[in-house]
Amino acid sequence: MAFRDHLKFAQTNSEPVSIIHGMWEVSKQQGHPLLIFDNISECPGHRAAVNLLTRDRLCEAIGISPEEYIDTLAWAMENPSEPILVGHDDAHCYENMQEQVNLLDLPIPHHWPQDRGRYSSASVIIASYNGIRNMSFHRQFVRDERHTVVRLVPRHLRTMMLEARENGDDVEIAIVNAPDPVVLLAAAMSFKENIDELTIAAALHEKLYSKPLELTTMPNGVEVPADSEYVLWGRITGENDDEGPYVDITGTVDDVRQEPVIAVEGVFHRDNPIFHALIPGEAEHKTLMGLPRSPTIKDAVSKVCTCLDVHMTEGGCGWLAAVVKIKKENPDDGINAIKAALEGHKSMKMVTIVDEDIDISDPVRVEWAMNTRWQPDRDTIILSNQKGSSLDPSRYPDGTTSKVGFDATIHHDADKSGFMSVQ
């Protein structure tokens, strides 16, 4: 499957639209539907898509129900598979090549007026160094025709980059835009160990589409999904430059930092290509970041009690807060679930535990459970001096935060019949 294969229900906007705020403005005016822009003023011959990977659209695209996606992702984590390699003639991403690299000719948008400029927000970076391959999301500011500045959070790719710099090396990479959604889901996962995310993507591809994930090799040796709409190949250099400001997942403006510069050495794309122009802070952004956290939280909670479901909340921006549904069988299950959930996703600062009769995707029902089953002085855990998320503007100057958990399950000594809603 390819990214474009999932766009059959998209609305097409054929009016001229600018890459400077235009796609964001049209999407906002129309309530953020699934849109394809096929008349981009600055980039003739290129198209762009927004709002594909909201939770429900994503599940529909890959053929699973919202109730199934957590267990499907967890299965893939436990059952990685090897992609297969195909030659250039069988790889759609090689259909066209820029004669001279010019990133300004690509439909990379400047969405929010507060952003530093044009950002590639939905592209994933596939890196290879010292025998290790990594695939992960990192926003990139388009500095000029041949260079981007990439925000590397303290995870595996940053570690790889720092090791390379210590050795006087660059890191060979490919920047992939608009592969199949299963690749994007795998890239959004994070692991303590160096796990090849492409093997997770391959497992999902086989399970959902009954065929292997095909990769092809870029001139610098980096392997990429063969049906990607765009592939840029190059290297992470030893140079740093300003990155940010940028409207992040919380809808707040992230800081300006010194971050690594990427030198792009070649650009390939499909015929009539479609750029994935993710709008930062909107539902698609929150889905891609939040959905892959759910299975890790569920796995952690399942070690201490029976965990039924996890929902990364909209108010928590798909990142900072979750509601966890459990089957309560022991007096301490709720409290233990709080501790496990916060450990399962260390960027989270708030978690609410509810019983199996609560619809965790409905904030009204969750609040109802809070108000009818939770006692603040008995059922609340507050943890101080915790490692915080850089996305939380309320974090303390040293980067720490406090975290809170609410046990909104029925108390073990209570008669449950008095807590059941008839509505």
What residues act catalytically?
248
List 11's β-bridge partners, or say none.
35
One-letter amino acid at 181 equals P
Place of tokens 């496990």: 340
DSSP-derived pairing of the beta strands 84-85 and 214-217: parallel
Give the integer Cα–Cα distance in Å for 127 and 129: 7
Nearest residue to 6 (alpha-carbon basis) of 62, 77, 71, 66: 62
What 3-state class would DSSP assign to 339?
helix
- Which tokens sit at 353? 């535990």
One-letter amino acid at 359 equals D
CB 326 within 8 A of CB 306: yes
CB 404 within 8 A of CB 350: yes
| Burial class of residue 11, CB neighbours in 10 A (0-12, 13-18, 19+) | exposed
Tell me how many degrees the CA angle 145-148-153 measures, rounded to the nearest 5.
175
One-letter amino acid at 253 equals V
Handedness of CA 21, 22, 25, 31 (dihedral sign): negative
- Left if phi > 0, otherwise alpha if psi is -120 to 50, otherwise beta: which for 97? beta
One-letter amino acid at 165 equals R
Backbone angles phi, psi at 389, to 5 degrees: -90, 140
What 3-state class would DSSP assign to 160?
helix
DSSP 346-408: TT--EEEEE-TTS-TT-HHHHHHHHHHH--TTTSEEEEEEEEPPTT-TTS-TTSEEEEEEEEE
CB 6 within 8 A of CB 16: no
List 353's β-bridge partners, or say none.
324, 407
Strand ranges, E, within 203-349 = 214-217, 223-225, 230-243, 246-247, 253-254, 257-269, 274-276, 306-312, 321-327
